Every structure is written in C-alpha cells, then in structure tokens.
A = this chain, B = another copy of it.
Amino acid sequence: MNELLSNCTLFKGISPREVLNIFDGIFYQTKFYEPRDIIAYQDDNVEHLMIVLKGITRGEMIDLNGKIVIIEEIESPRPLAPAFIFGQNNTYPVNIVSQTKTEILKIPKSELVKMMQKNDKLLVNFMNNISGRAQFLSQKLKFLSFHSIKGKFAFYILNLAKNSNSNYVTLPFSQSKLAELFGVTRPSLSRAIRELHNDNIIRAEAKNIQIINTYELYEVMR
C-alpha cells in the first residue's frame, strides 16, 4: 500500500518508508467495491478522506429524468473529492460509483489532521491539491464570464501568445475540441474566427493564427 501511495499526488516526494511512518498510530480502513457499487451518495456527509488504491471510479450526476451525466473519472491512486472534506458544505457534490473492482482507503478527517501535522510534505501536498482545484475553478469561471464566443477566443489566443511570447500562435486542438472546451458549437466558433479575420484583427489559416491588432483583440473581450 505504501508504495502505491507514494505515486499519489498527496504523497508526492514522500518515500514509502516515510509513508509507513506517517500511518503509524493512525486509524484507517480499506474497503472493496464491485463494479456499479455506489461508494458515496450525493449530499452524504464527507467524513473521511477516501483514496482510490485500485480500480477506477466515476463521479456521476443524475438529473431527475433518470439521465446520467458523467462528470469525471478518477483512477488509482487518487483522492476522492478532497476539496469537500473541509469547508462549510461537507457533502459529496455527486454520486461516486465504482466502475471496476475497486479498493478504497478511508481515513477519518480527524486522523488526516494528525497526519498533516506530523508531516509537512503531506500538509503542503494537500494544500496544493485543494488550492489547485480552487485555482482551476477560478480560471474556468473567469473564462465563462466572457459572454461572447469572440471574447472567449480572444482570451484564449492572447493567453497562448503570452506564453509563447509571439504574435503567431498555433491552436493545439481541432476546432471541434476547442468548441467543446468553450461550450459552444463548432460552426459558431468557426464563424467567430472568420469574423475576427474579416475585421482584420487576426489572420487565421487553419490552426495558424497571427494576431494583427492586439488592442482590438483586447477590446473584443470587453
């Protein structure tokens, strides 16, 4: 188990020997699930840190028509919903379902606190995990706050340009993938790109984009 955990982001930089030491004197349990078993129900209280040791789980949401919307797959070794252990609303945001035969490590919240106080790397790793999630969501939210497709696209390629330090950028995905990423349809994205092109703000040829008028491109974002 300790070798497995060493590969988990929560235990990054911690040797299997150190992991053993961290778990010394700590209450925990492991549980096994079959495919389609529900590991945790939406709105249930989160009282443990759960780590997928073996197998694959899936967070799914059921709208009341019975339609299942898959949210995310979590493969071993990864923690389940670590951002919902602490905070005001300690309930699972979605149902967690086992997809394969699965082994789950369960650590009570109070024991987790002890572990983090014992080992500073674990503490920082856990912080990194939750903070990273907050930052990811923050980015996503910022992105969604651009109302128009042109705005989203402008933001996107301006970021690409900033990272590559150039006015020439190459789209890393197909327009279909990008459209999906943006939450819009492919023809709509295509039209937005063409309009920016026709307005002489960018020059777009397939995946290669040249930013011609940086000021106007910022203006598009509003």
CB neighbours (8 Å) of A88 from chain B are 128, 132, 135
Count of this chain's copies in the oligomeric assembly = 2
Roughly how many angstroms separate A128 CA and B130 CA in the complex, as a whole number?
10
CB distance from A77 to the nearest CB of B (A): 19
A165 close to B (CB within 8 Å): no
CB neighbours (8 Å) of A21 from chain B are none
Asked if A134 contacts B130 (CB within 8 A), the reply is yes
Residue count of chain A within 8 Å CB distance of chain B: 41
Main secondary structure of the interface of A (DSSP, over half): helix
Roughly how many angstroms separate A126 CA and B130 CA in the complex, as a whole number?
11
Segment at the interface with B among A25-33, A96-104, A113-121, A193-201: A113-121
CB neighbours (8 Å) of A135 from chain B are 83-84, 87-89
Task: Name A residues whose Cβ lies closer than 8 Å to a Cβ of B.
Answer: 63-65, 83-89, 93, 113-114, 116-117, 120, 123-124, 126-128, 130-135, 137-138, 140-142, 144-145, 147, 183, 215, 218-219, 221-222
What are 21 A-to-B residue pairs whose CB atoms are below 8 Å?
A63-B218, A63-B222, A64-B215, A64-B218, A65-B219, A83-B134, A83-B135, A84-B135, A93-B138, A113-B123, A116-B116, A116-B123, A127-B130, A130-B130, A130-B134, A134-B137, A137-B138, A137-B141, A141-B141, A145-B183, A147-B183
